[in-house]
C-alpha cells in the first residue's frame, strides 16, 4: 500500500477508550504500525479522567491519521461505538479495543479476505490470549465459515469483538445501549440474520484478559443477556420441535438450573435432534456440529452445578454417543489433532 492515507481511507479503525492508561499507547502503536497504511484511526475518548487525553494528543501530533472525538458526556461503550460509526469514513471498519494489540499484518490479511469474498459482510480472526502484563497463555483458533459462524451465534458470541472488520455500507445496525455487557453479541446476532459473517483462522490479535474473575452478579447478567439474544436466533434457525427440545439445554446453559437424570437425558436428546436437522441442511458440517454440541453439553452441565465426575457419569449414562465427539473436541481445542482429523470449517 501507498504510505500516504487517501482522502477517503480504505479502512477506518474504530477505537473507544475510557481511562486507557497504561495500555492505550501500545494498542494505538500496533495500529499505527500496520503494513496496510491506507487507514484512519478514529478514537472515541469517552470521558477519560486519567492521562489518556494527553497520550492521545501526543500520538495524534505524531500521526495525522488519528482523529480524536470527545463526547460531552460519558456514553459508555455502546454509545461511544455508535458515535464512532457516525464519524468513520472508510469503506471498511475495523474494531479495536484500547488494551489489545494488533499483529502488524492484521488489517492487510482481513482486508484481502473481504476483497476476495464479496458475499461476506463481516469477519473476525483468531487471537492470542494474553494476561494483563502481556504474557501470552493461549492461542484461540476459530475458523468459521458462514454456516459455522451463524451456528455459533445461536448460543454464544462466535468470535472476539475487537477482531471485527466489516463493510461500512452493509452495516445497517447500531449498538443497543440496553445491552450493558453483550453489545457485541447482540449486534452480531442481528446482523447475521440477513448478512453472512465468518471468522478466519489467522491469529492476528493479542487479546488482553485482565486478572480477576467476573462477579456473580455480572456473570448472571451476562447469561441473562446472552439468553435474550440467543433465543430469537434459535427460533429463526430451527424447526419448532427442535427449538422446544432444546429447553433443558437452555435451562442449564443460561439459567444454571440443575438437571436430574431425566433432564440430562432430555438435554442430550434435544442436541441430537438439532444435529440431525443441521446435518440435513449442511452434511459437510456434521462432525463439527457434533463436537461443538458435545462441548456445549458439558458446559451446560457444569454451569448447572454438576460436578466434573457427575458430568462424566451423565455422558456415560445419557450421552454415550457424544463421548467420542467430546474427546475429539478436547484434543482439537488444544491443537493436538493432525489436520485431517480437525473439524474446523475451511474459510
The CATH number for 171's domain is 3.90.550.10
61 and 182 housed in the same domain: yes
DSSP for 35-83, please give it. Answer: S---EEEEEEE-S--SSHHHHHHHHHHH-TTEEEE--SS--HHHHHHHH
Cα distance between residue 97 and residue 188, in whole Å: 17
DSSP for 187-200, please give it. Answer: HHHHHTTTSEEEEE
By three-state DSSP, how is residue 138 classified? strand
- 169's CB contacts (< 8 A; 6+ apart) are 91
180 and 254 housed in the same domain: no
Tally of domains within the chain: 2
User: φ and ψ at 305, to 5 degrees?
Assistant: 90, 10
Q: What is the pLDDT along the chain (347 residues), one digit of tens a residue?
A: 333 445 899 999 999 999 999 999 999 999 999 999 999 999 999 999 999 999 999 999 999 999 999 999 999 999 999 999 999 999 999 999 999 999 999 999 999 999 999 999 999 999 999 999 999 999 999 999 999 999 999 999 999 999 999 999 999 999 999 998 999 999 999 999 999 999 999 999 999 998 655 566 788 999 999 999 999 999 999 999 999 999 999 999 999 999 999 999 999 999 999 999 999 999 999 999 999 999 999 999 999 999 999 999 999 999 999 999 999 999 998 889 998 999 988 88
Locate cell 483468531: which residue? 126
Say if 31 falls within a structural domain.
yes
**Do 70 and 45 contact (CB within 8 A), yes or no?**
yes
Cα distance between residue 130 and residue 245, in whole Å: 38
Q: Report how far apart, in Å, the C-alpha atoms of 247 and of each of 69, 158, 160 are.
A: 45, 21, 27
Cα distance between residue 69 and residue 303, in whole Å: 41
246 and 203 housed in the same domain: no
Amino acid at each position: 500500500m501507498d504510505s500516504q492515507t487517501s482522502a477517503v481511507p480504505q479502512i477506518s479503525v474504530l477505537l473507544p477508550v475510557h481511562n486507557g492508561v497504561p495500555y492505550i499507547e501500545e494498542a494505538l502503536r500496533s495500529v499505527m504500525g500496520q503494513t496496510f497504511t491506507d487507514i484512519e484511526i478514529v478514537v472515541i475518548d469517552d470521558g477519560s479522567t486519567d492521562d489518556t487525553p494527553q497520550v492521545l494528543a501526543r500520538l495524534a501530533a505524531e500521526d495525522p491519521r488519528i482523529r480524536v472525538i470527545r463526547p460531552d458526556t460519558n456514553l459508555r461503550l455502546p454509545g461511544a461505538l455508535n458515535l464512532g460509526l457516525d464519524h468513520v469514513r472508510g469503506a471498511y471498519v475495523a474494531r479495536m479495543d484500547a488494551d489489545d494489540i494488533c499483529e502488524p499484518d492484521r488489517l492487510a490479511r482481513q482486508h484481502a479476505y473481504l476483497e476476495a469474498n464479496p458475499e461476506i459482510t463481516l469477519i473476525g480472526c483468531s487471537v492470542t490470549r494474553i494476561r494483563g502484563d502481556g504474557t501470552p497463555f493461549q492461542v484461540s483458533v476459530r475458523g468459521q465459515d458462514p454456516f459455522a459462524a451463524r451456528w455459533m451465534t445461536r448460543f454464544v458470541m462466535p468470535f472476539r469483538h475487537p477482531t471485527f472488520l466489516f463493510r461500512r455500507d452493509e452495516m445497517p445496525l447500531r449498538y443497543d445501549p440496553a445491552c450493558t455487557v453483550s453489545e457485541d453479541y447482540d449486534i452480531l446476532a442481528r446482523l447475521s440474520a440477513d448478512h453472512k459473517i465468518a471468522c478466519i483462522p489467522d491469529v492476528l490479535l493479542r487479546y488482553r484478559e485482565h486478572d480477576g474473575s467476573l462477579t456473580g452478579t455480572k456473570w448472571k447478567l451476562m447469561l441473562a443477556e446472552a439468553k435474550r439474544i440467543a433465543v430469537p436466533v434459535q427460533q429463526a434457525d430451527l424447526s419448532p420441535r427442535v427449538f422446544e427440545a432444546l429447553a433443558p439445554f437452555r435451562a442449564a446453559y443460561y439459567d444454571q438450573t440443575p438437571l436430574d437424570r431425566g433432564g440430562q437425558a432430555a438435554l442430550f436428546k434435544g442436541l441430537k435432534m438439532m444435529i440431525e436437522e443441521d446435518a440435513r441442511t449442511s452434511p459437510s458440517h456434521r462432525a463439527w456440529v457434533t463436537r461443538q454440541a458435545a462441548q456445549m453439553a458439558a458446559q451446560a452441565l457444569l454451569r448447572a452445578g454438576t460436578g466434573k465426575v457427575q458430568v462424566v457419569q451423565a455422558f456415560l449414562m445419557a450421552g454415550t454417543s457424544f463421548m467420542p465427539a467430546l474427546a475429539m473436541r478436547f484434543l482439537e481445542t488444544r491443537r493436538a489433532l493432525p489436520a485431517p482429523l480437525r473439524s474446523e470449517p475451511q474459510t
